[in-house]
Amino acid sequence: MTVEDIRVLLVDDQELVRYGFRLMLDSTPGMIVVGEAGDGAQAIGAAERLHPDVVLMDVRMPGMSGIEATKRIVSAHPDTRVLVLTTYDVDEYAFGALGAGAAGFLLKDTRPDDLVAAIRAVHSGDAVVSPRITAKLIEVAAPHLGLRQGPATDADEALSELTAREREIFVLIGRGETNGEIATRLFVSESTVKSHVGRVLFKLDLRNRVEAVIRAYELGVVG
């Protein structure tokens, strides 16, 4: 392990799933699995002892759920990023992690390269919501979070402080695109996108990009 390695904690009640993730991540340059946990309570203890950079968190586990564990870990360790893993395209149980501070959502059958990219993205301060589940996530989560799509006039008023470029980036965030994907699409550097994203979040009073996705749905700019 080097100083630069991303320290990953695996949380899943299925040992075989954890074993598969460990094999993949331990063979990835720049990453190391520092521990495993089989339920939410174990995850909290492991996070306290091991101080991981990123936690891969299952949500459906016996005992304490991944949602409660995410909430407690993020509260106690603000620098630790939690990436929620879900089995289905639509998993209502997983959406509670939105309010718990999860940095993103991925399906368990995500390609290895995409999982590695997602871990690196959340470690760098980005947030990840799999494009395959973004629309369904919002559709199912909205009723539970009190969200509703507003008319275009509401969006215009809410986004009035954003520049044209910031509006464009806000829409792309809402579609679940990462900083790297946005940079490629707009032919700008990733650092430029990161600066724009920071201003968008600040102007809209949002904590993170996951909240930005929800806000984009609420305003009707994506859907």
**CATH code for the domain of 213:** 1.10.10.10
- In this structure, the answer to whether residues 117 and 208 fall within a common structural domain is no
Six-digit token pair at 77?
Answer: 């360790």
- In this structure, the answer to whether residues 119 and 197 fall within a common structural domain is no
Domain hosting residue 188, numbered range? 148-219
CATH number at residue 16: 3.40.50.2300
Of 111, 140, 169, at which residue does a domain stop?
Answer: 140
**Burial (0-12, 13-18, 19+ Cβ within 10 Å), 60:** middle
| pLDDT tens profile 139-181 | 655 555 555 555 555 677 878 899 999 999 999 988 878 788 8
How much is the pLDDT for 156? 76
Of 82, 114, 140, at which residue does a domain stop?
Answer: 140
Per the domain annotation, does 83 fall within a domain? yes
- In this structure, the answer to whether residues 78 and 161 fall within a common structural domain is no
The tally of domains found in the chain comes to: 2
Of 81, 108, 140, at which residue does a domain stop?
Answer: 140
| pLDDT tens profile 90-135 | 556 656 666 678 888 788 888 888 889 889 988 887 777 665 556 5
Residue 54 pLDDT more than 60?
Answer: yes
- In this structure, the answer to whether residues 112 and 177 fall within a common structural domain is no
How much is the pLDDT for 216? 84
- In this structure, the answer to whether residues 152 and 124 fall within a common structural domain is no
- In this structure, the answer to whether residues 117 and 170 fall within a common structural domain is no
| pLDDT tens profile 193-221 | 989 999 999 999 887 777 787 788 778 88
- In this structure, the answer to whether residues 66 and 25 fall within a common structural domain is yes
